[in-house]
Amino acid sequence: MLKVLVPVDGSSNALHAVHHVLSEYQRNPAIDIHLLNVQPPFSRNVTRWSDRKTINEAHLDASEQALQPIRQMLDKVCVPYSVHLAVGGKASSIAEFARQLRCDHIVIGTARKNSLMRTVEGSVTNEVLELTTVPVIAVAGDLPSTWERYRIQLGAGGGLAWLVVAALE
Amino acid sequence: MSTPATTAAPILDADAHAVPTGERRDEHGRRIALTFDSTVVRPIAPPADCWCVALDGSRHSMHALTEAMRLATESGVRTLDLGTVHHWLSLEAAETELACRGLATSADARALLDARGFAWRLHVLMGEPAPRLVDLTQALGSRGIVVGARGLSAVEGLLIGSVAQQIIYNARGAVLVVRAPAAPEEKVAC
């Protein structure tokens, strides 16, 4: 039986990953699905003034909210799954859970960004690929908008233009 | 997908008589794509049920093939599509060289598949690896692409060029990225 870890963060890209797992499940129902939601830790300013129970509840609420559409989708087609919650860095938590659960694959939805955007903005998929040797099935999501695609180049161009104008003055 | 191996595998005797089952030419009449089918193991499942493995003759791509075989076995479809992409060749060279290079690059992979009782379809293409492989899987309607990776960081991938990363962000479907554990000599070379 294949054991797959599916990181979900409530984004549309995560839905693409779950769609892929469902299509694989229809071909072969011998798949053990583990959903993982990773919540970022609160800052020290928050943790200093809040008790552990309140912080845990806040993490659980945020996690439930992110998992809800995926749970509904899987429950609707009666596909069994397990849910895990982690607090910490996204990529490191995903790699650690894949190792702990001894998953065969990580199925991750990913934004359709170009190399420059991924390098500047960071990419969880790239980080996961760097951190783990567990095979990763990446399912690319929707195309970014024109503004998202060119904002880095436009920003760099604008900065250069400003420098040229400043130098001429 | 890693850098192609510098030493090509020797062409097997059987390959010398291999006849392509499909061929595509550009507007100049140059061979740009060839397809070979396995003869040892039959029948061959339709492409929509199969994963397509990107091959370049490296140990990373062989590692990816092993994972693809496991995935195929789990789903009960013992057929794999193999894709190998080569640099552009002239009109005359492409007539013979494209098939030779494709068969040489995939020799180990095909031998392994034959030995394990897997059917295969080999697609030999010419051009840029990432876009050609994405186009191939889209045309075939494959379940996804399986590609080996060297485990480059985002910056290394941007500077050196990672075929795996290019495929992930351009493919329409799923891309299985298989990272082989780094060999000690590779770490020294970096």
pLDDT at position A160 is 82
Tokens 């693809």 — which residue? B68
Beta-carbon separation of A139 and B75 below 8 A: no
Report the domain count for chain B: 1
Q: Which of B67, B76, B153 is closest, CB to CB, to A135?
A: B67
pLDDT the model gives residue A84: 95
Please, what is the Cα angle at A129 between A124 and A132, to 5 degrees? 115
What percent of chain B stands above pLDDT 90? Answer: 58
Q: Locate the chain A residue with the closest alpha carbon to B177.
A: A136
What is the per-residue pLDDT for A72?
93
- Tell me the two tokens of residue A106: 């990580």
The shortest CB-CB distance from B176 to any of A115, A118, A135 is to A135
Q: How confident is the model at residue A145 (pLDDT cuts 50, 70, 90)?
A: low
Q: Using one digit for the tens of pLDDT, what is the confidence trace for A72-115? A: 999 999 999 999 999 999 999 999 999 999 999 999 998 876 66
Rounded to whole angstroms, the Cα distance separating B51 from A3 reads 18
Domain for residue B88, yes or no? yes
Residue B85 lies in a domain: yes
Between vectors from CA B175 to CA A36 and to CA B166, what angle results, nearest 5°?
A: 115
Listed residue (B61, B49, B46, B47) closest to B110, CA to CA: B61
Higher pLDDT, B155 or B31: B31
Whole-number pLDDT of residue A46: 77
Task: Tell me if chain A has a CB within 8 Å of the CB of B73.
Answer: no
Strand order of the β-sheet with B31-37 is A81-87, A31-39, A2-7, A105-110, A136-140, B174-179, B144-149, B51-54, B79-86, B119-126, B31-37, B22-25
First vs last C-alpha separation in chain B: 17
Report how many Cβ contacts below 8 Å link chain A to chain B: 82
In a domain? residue B1: no
pLDDT for B187 equals 47
Alpha helices in A28-104 (DSSP H): 44-49, 52-76, 90-100
| Global pTM exceeds 0.90 | no
Give me the mean pLDDT over the A139-143 stretch: 79
A39 touches chain B (CB under 8 A): no
Structure tokens at B131: 């876009």
In a domain? residue B190: no
User: What are the structural domain ranges in chain A?
Assistant: 2-168
Chain-wide mean pLDDT for chain B?
84
B110 assigned to some structural domain = yes
Task: List the domain range (segments joined by +) for residue B121.
Answer: 17-181
* pLDDT of residue B8 exceeding 50: no
Q: CA A105, CA A102: separation in Å to the nearest integer? A: 9
DSSP class of residue B35 equals: E
CATH of the domain at B159: 3.40.50.620
End-to-end C-alpha distance for chain A, whole angstroms = 69
Examine residue B115 and state whether it is found in any structural domain, yes or no: yes
Tell me if B6 is assigned to some domain.
no
A2-168 is a CATH 3.10.450.50 domain: no
pLDDT digits 0-9 by tens, B13-36: 567 678 899 999 999 999 999 999
